[in-house]
Amino acid sequence: MRVGATVGTDFGRDFGGDLLGECLNDWIKGGHLSANMMSPEDVGDALAETLAVGFLHPAIELTDFSLRPPGPLADLG
């Protein structure tokens, strides 16, 4: 499971300003940062509903998935 850009979490909480700026630039240049963000509530609901598939359909194996916000990637522009 991979979770994309989510606002209101502690990710990056302890990054210094310089490190955070460097990381953001690298993520944008590499095409890894979305222009839009997801809320923790939406991510939690989507995770619970997706993982429920495994319990409802034990003959199906859920091995890999990503949650990403819709829309374009962030731009340095």
State yes or no: pLDDT of 76 exceeds 80: no
Q: Higher pLDDT residue, 49 or 76?
A: 49
Dump pLDDT digits (tens) for 34-68: 999 999 999 999 999 999 988 899 998 888 999 99
The DSSP line for 8-72 is SSSTTTT--HHHHHHHHHHHHHTT--BSS-B-HHHHHHHHHHHHHHHHH-TTS-----EE--SSP
Neighbouring CB atoms inside 10 A of 38's CB total: 20
pLDDT of 75 reads 86
**Average pLDDT of the residues in 7-26:** 88
